[in-house]
Structure 1
């Protein structure tokens, strides 16, 4: 699913109007019907409704919704803010349609505004500003937003909470953004919805299909997309009936200092569960017996040191490498890490302590091989970038820049993990849940990705399949166990079910 910018959304509206064809006022009516259906499914006609409508098309949507709810027996009070004396054409048309509508009290605010009481029994419909907003709210509108937020009423926002911008909110005034209980957005997710700091404004999110042109969406050159199950299914390759373990690829996992053997175990188990034919796991000597018992399928490569990773693996008969989980950041380990990274002529995943080593050795970071996959969580990425970010958009922009400049793949882990690619595009993952915020979850992802690379998937497809399957396994685990009880081992345990679901 493509994620369009605010500009592209307006272009898509125009394309739909021209090519369906449909009048813009009729397209607004279609959107209002979808919004009204969504709102009236949640709140019955015993609810008192107050509508705040702005002067643009978002306000026009709100006026149309007010009319439709009045016709269905709701008691609706409408405030249209026309302080500049200029309404959009469709907002003006819906103002005229609202005249005399049953159950609706209409007030046009041109100067003075006497705010209504907003007790808990009132539903506020926020139609002040939509996806066209390009600067923070100020003045009277900012005061109105604060008044709404401080009241006890419930709030539903049309398309996007007023004050929130569609993409970049790095320099927004966050106290001047509506905090909605529900957001009913039109046709597609907005980029701002995918960042954690904006969740407080959205409430429960619903995406309403208003039948904008499928051809227009297809033609749009979107920088951002969300990966869904149907798309991932198209990427999967069947295993050959006559395959042997060599055909399924050999993975090298370098993980786990002494005391962190679990990182090596989780990554290795996940690697096997993701279809690798053979897994070589390199660990300190004191982890040898633990690995042999915990993952008997793995070939254990012992380091010369009892406790640390101190020497690169001499054997190069592997097809992909995952390195970093639990190895520590000791200087001798850092030296072995960069030596291993440089000598491996295979697709590579770097996670956890591997990322921390790169963050503390800036010169090394600039020389990692083209095509390497990095899997940082937000704090790890801040260390890599050497910057504290104001918000998710700023962080994402830096990751995109880094992926392009260095020609690498960066998976920014989170609720919507973002794959930033060398071509500047970003693919967001749609699976996963808060139960996966647990120690070892990233180690599992490293194993999944390494297996897919060893099996012959290119970096892009391995990242897309891997993050989706990893999140899906977490979702299946949470479904059975509850989000509070999911462990990294559970994610490994549910990997087979995740793959099976995609194969069915």
Structure 2
């Protein structure tokens, strides 16, 4: 706890000066113990600290009790109040810093009574709020039935060692504010021994996955990818997926697209082989798939009925891994019985609205959608990437892997088409589905991060992600 408190204190002092009056609200558990230790350390650095410890049932955790004694004995603490019954909260001004240590990751029910009233009081005040580990009232995983008005809205959350699942859900951003993950040097053995259904990717996970590139390699040994994309007016989606596929190292890329796209495809992706559909403006015919090592279908495909029939025929005909995105998923949403015909190991890359069309609306938010995706991946033996902030890969065994790379600048048209091309190329090169999905979403986000350093997030476009894939590969290989 001392190690955690030192890291927490350091993070606070890096942002707020000793002239900032500090009010610490500490609960009866270990989160409160952390808050008390932080209060003591801030006071030792000449901060004016007022501490309020809630000991309603006269039962503190062992760590909290130990830190209570040290705070009570401290001559540096401005004021220490232990509350067992009634409580009149202090005035919280705009220059006040509130340290929220009421409840941490052990919370399993919504706040009520006096604690709920205190949370509302803090949220209505102009004070800045730092939450220790997780904002009080926010549960670490499922907040479907939480009372959202009874959750602290922090300006800064200092979480310990790793992000909690709730912090990866977009609808909880309003409570978390800025998020910092503090390394408190827990042993790798302890972390690895902790059972979890989800994890966050790290570069150290990915480097061993990278396949060596033989000095004797030629285009025939580096995989042949097929991209089926681009209806009339949506040739750009086909171009982006194709260029991303090429940039990710596929030895050969063939694009099947309507006749009307011939000239723009030839000019935009001269390295690709063009295979024209017999229709002028839409995909209408499944192609012979024997020669391909992976197929990516969907970007800008359109949703005509003939396209839908060709899509399911193509999926049935495939003899290699398949990636479904965009309109391929929208077609399946209109023909849900076809989901049972998908081959084992298929990859799907929906954004939230595409997934909701496929599986039904997630009325209660991100967590419900994530659980639905996990269940669908298990049922179909599929690999489902829910795209967004910290994209989530749901594996057939029920585990979920989150991607830490990427930024808000990538919320732009065509970004998903790029991901389709990347994953299709990796599959064509011989990566298995889990490795291709993990590497694909990580490289996609990393390229976006590198691009944003030059363009800024506001001006980032999908082509920038493709242009920075070489640096993303290089960073991962270094």
- TM-score, normalization by structure 1: 0.93
Match of 2:199 in 1: 225
Distance 1:111 1:315, change over 3 A: closer
Once the two structures are TM-superposed, the CA of residue 315 in structure 1 deviates from its matched residue by: 5.2
Conserved in 1, the CA contact under 8 Å of 2:289 and 2:318?
no
In 2: Cα distance, 1:59 partner to 1:409 partner: 41
Q: Does 1:279 align with 2:259?
A: no
Aligned length: 477
Match of 1:329 among 303, 308, 320: 303
Match of 2:400 in 1: 426
In 2: Cα distance, 1:221 partner to 1:96 partner: 34
Conserved in 1, the CA contact under 8 Å of 2:289 and 2:319?
no
Match of 1:312 in 2: 286
1:194-213 → structure 2 map (5 Å cutoff): 194-213=168-187
Aligned structure 1 segments of 4 or more residues deviating by more than 4 angstroms:
none
Q: Does 1:463 align with 2:476?
A: no
Match of 2:16 in 1: 43
1:393-404 → structure 2 map (5 Å cutoff): 393-404=367-378
SS at match of 2:28: coil
Conserved in 1, the CA contact under 8 Å of 2:36 and 2:71?
yes
Match of 1:298 among 262, 272, 286: 272
1:345-356 → structure 2 map (5 Å cutoff): 345-356=319-330
In 2: Cα distance, 1:79 partner to 1:336 partner: 67
Q: Does 1:97 align with 2:70?
A: yes
Match of 2:424 among 450, 454, 467: 450
Match of 1:20 in 2: none
Conserved in 2, the CA contact under 8 Å of 1:71 and 1:101?
no
1:89-488 → structure 2 map (5 Å cutoff): 89-104=62-77, 105-314=79-288, 316-488=290-462
Conserved in 1, the CA contact under 8 Å of 2:158 and 2:181?
yes
In 2: Cα distance, 1:208 partner to 1:500 partner: 27
In 1: Cα distance, 2:61 partner to 2:73 partner: 21
Match of 2:55 among 70, 79, 82: 82
Once the two structures are TM-superposed, the CA of residue 303 in structure 1 deviates from its matched residue by: 0.8
Conserved in 1, the CA contact under 8 Å of 2:258 and 2:283?
yes
Conserved in 2, the CA contact under 8 Å of 1:169 and 1:391?
no
1:489-504 → structure 2 map (5 Å cutoff): 489-504=463-478
Conserved in 1, the CA contact under 8 Å of 2:22 and 2:48?
yes
Once the two structures are TM-superposed, the CA of residue 230 in structure 1 deviates from its matched residue by: 2.6
Once the two structures are TM-superposed, the CA of residue 451 in structure 1 deviates from its matched residue by: 0.6
In 2: Cα distance, 1:173 partner to 1:348 partner: 42
Match of 1:58 among 18, 28, 31: 31
Conserved in 2, the CA contact under 8 Å of 1:382 and 1:389?
no
Once the two structures are TM-superposed, the CA of residue 457 in structure 1 deviates from its matched residue by: 0.4
Once the two structures are TM-superposed, the CA of residue 222 in structure 1 deviates from its matched residue by: 2.5
Conserved in 1, the CA contact under 8 Å of 2:362 and 2:368?
no
SS at match of 1:119: coil
In 1: Cα distance, 2:21 partner to 2:264 partner: 65
In 1: Cα distance, 2:464 partner to 2:18 partner: 45
In 1: Cα distance, 2:463 partner to 2:24 partner: 49
Question: After the TM superposition, which of the residue ranges 279-288 and 348-357 deviates more from structure 2?
Answer: 279-288
SS at match of 2:458: helix
Once the two structures are TM-superposed, the CA of residue 382 in structure 1 deviates from its matched residue by: 0.8
Question: After the TM superposition, which of the residue ranges 364-373 and 215-224 deviates more from structure 2?
Answer: 215-224
In 1: Cα distance, 2:312 partner to 2:96 partner: 61
Question: After the TM superposition, which of the residue ranges 223-232 and 172-181 deviates more from structure 2?
Answer: 223-232
Conserved in 2, the CA contact under 8 Å of 1:285 and 1:302?
yes
Conserved in 1, the CA contact under 8 Å of 2:288 and 2:317?
no
Once the two structures are TM-superposed, the CA of residue 130 in structure 1 deviates from its matched residue by: 0.6
SS at match of 1:366: helix
Task: Tell me the C-alpha RMSD between the 2 structures.
Answer: 1.2
In 1: Cα distance, 2:276 partner to 2:245 partner: 19
Once the two structures are TM-superposed, the CA of residue 493 in structure 1 deviates from its matched residue by: 1.0
Once the two structures are TM-superposed, the CA of residue 401 in structure 1 deviates from its matched residue by: 0.9
Conserved in 2, the CA contact under 8 Å of 1:261 and 1:291?
yes
